[in-house]
Amino acid sequence: MAERVVENLNQALHALLADDPALTVLGEDLVDPYGGAFKVTRGLSARWPERVLSTPLSEGGIVGVAGGLALAGQSAIVEIMFSDFVALAFDQLLNFASKSTAMYGRRVPMRLVVRCPTGGNRGYGPTHSQSPLKHFIGIPGLSVHEVSPFHDNRTVLAGMLATGRPGLLFEDKVLYTTRMYADGVVDELFRYDLIGPDADVARIRVDEEEQADCVLVVPGGLAARAVSVARELLLRDDIVCQVLVPSRLWPLDSDNLLPPIARAGRVVVAEESTAGGTWGAELAQVVHRRLWGSLRAPVRLVHSADSVIPTAAHLERTVLVQDTDIHQAVKEVVSGD
């Protein structure tokens, strides 16, 4: 059986620290024996005590320190304990790290990744469950990625650092304990491959089926949920749904997302965040502009409710995107024409 996502991330960090003596990993409560709030950094400080640092509770300051290391030609990976708190580092990301790549009139490499455990469904309540990714969309010089069970995190993190641009890596907390997919196999019905020159987009489909009734595009955190919806749709409703999971959300990888969407002519984009200024809305805008002639239905977006995220499980479910919401959206889009 393939490893768990948290192990894949942990191994990725081990490998990167081993490969790159200029890399520092820093964040709150990272060092052993605690090893980080979600145990992603377990074992790192024992091997590299000088380069794996537990910091004070200072999200802005930590990202600033990482920006300083990057400015000095080093590499840095920061862990923000809960993505909600990346709000406290917004200035460093918006006004320093991303700006510095260009505002001095020449390209300044900034090898910096900020990892953000994100999302709900764990009962952590209104300030520890949000998906603030959308607030980082459209910032020049800043890339936004999300962990998925299809993308190896060593490749993702090394690729992000190699761009010389700062990036955010959102990690849906429900993924940590789930398993990575391996060898192109999802289950007995579905297969996956990684498409595009940089293998950035995971494409999940029924065997070699090229033609789908609908394409479902989701960030990595919703990937397993999207796959289970696609399975239900196939078995219960006889709807063939292809799932696309890009690793890099921003800048948008339209070259790899648009062709399958054009073939199906119908697309649903699901995100766990609330609606309003989202990645999905940006994707919808591009699809409408570029594929207007080949669309059979308007792009359909699925979001969580416009609400704070309650703590109690039965209440949380009423707010966050559920499989049934995605299922329903696909059915409506497919039957609507």
Partner 1 sequence: MTATRTEAAPIAPTRLADADLDLLLLIRHFELALLDMFGRGELHGTTHTCLGQEYVPVALRPLLDDGDFVFSNHRGHGHYLARFDDPHGLLAEVMGREGAVCHGVGGSQHILRDRYLSTGVQGESAPVAAGVALHLKRTEPGRLALVYLGDGTWGEGAVYEALNMAALWGLPLLLVVENNGIAQSTPTDAQLAGSIGGRARAFGVDHLRVTSTDTEVVRAALTPVLRRVRERSTPYVVELLTHRVGPHSKGDDSRRPEEIAHARAHDWYARYAQAYPEQFGAHDERQRAYVAQVVADVAGRPASRWAEADRG
Residue 72 touching partner 1 (CB under 8 A) = yes
Residue 80 touching partner 1 (CB under 8 A) = no
Site string for partner 1, 28-57 (x = CB under 8 A): ----------------------x----xx-
Instruction: Report the nearest approach of partner 1 to the CB of residue 140 (Å).
Output: 7
Site string for partner 1, 231-260 (x = CB under 8 A): ------------------------------
Residues with Cβ < 8 Å from 117, sequence gap 6 or more?
A: 37, 38, 40, 79, 80, 81, 82, 83, 171, 173, 176
Give whichever of 6 and 252 is closer to partner 1, judged by the CB atom: 252
Q: Which residue of 41, 92, 121, 278 would you call a contact of partner 1, by CB under 8 A?
A: 92
Instruction: Report the nearest approach of partner 1 to the CB of residue 53 (Å).
Output: 8
Scanning 79-87, 104-112, 127-135, 258-266 for contacts with partner 1 by CB under 8 A, the matching segment is 104-112
Residue 58 touching partner 1 (CB under 8 A) = yes
Scanning 95-103, 126-134, 151-159, 254-262 for contacts with partner 1 by CB under 8 A, the matching segment is 95-103
Q: Which residue of 69, 215, 217, 252 would you call a contact of partner 1, by CB under 8 A?
A: 69
Site string for partner 1, 105-124 (x = CB under 8 A): xxxx----------------
Report the 3 state secondary structure along the chain: CCCEHHHHHHHHHHHHHHHCCCEEEEECCCCCCCCCCCCCCCCHHHHCCCCEEECCCCHHHHHHHHHHHHHCCCEEEEECCCHHHHHHHHHHHHHHHHHHCCCCCCCCCCEEEEEEEECCCCCCCCCCCCCHHHHHCCCCCCEEEECCCCCCHHHHHHHHHHCCCCEEEEEEHHHCCCECCECCECCCCEEEEEECCCCCEEEEEECCCCCCCEEEECCHHHHHHHHHHHHHHHHHHCCCEEEEEECEEECCCHHHHHHHHHHHCCEEEEEEEECCCCHHHHHHHHHHHHHHHHCCCCCEEEEECCCCCCCCHHHHHHHCCCHHHHHHHHHHHHHCC
Residue 76 touching partner 1 (CB under 8 A) = yes
Q: Which residue of 65, 214, 295, 334 would you call a contact of partner 1, by CB under 8 A?
A: 65
Give whichever of 8 and 92 is closer to partner 1, judged by the CB atom: 92
Give whichever of 48 and 181 is closer to partner 1, judged by the CB atom: 48
Give whichever of 91 and 193 is closer to partner 1, judged by the CB atom: 91
Instruction: Report the nearest approach of partner 1 to the CB of residue 55 (Å).
Output: 7
Nearest to 52 by CA among 83, 20, 92, 84: 20
Site string for partner 1, 184-203 (x = CB under 8 A): --------------------
Binding site for partner 1 (CB under 8 A): 24, 50, 55-56, 58, 60-72, 74, 76, 91-92, 95-96, 99-108, 140-141, 165
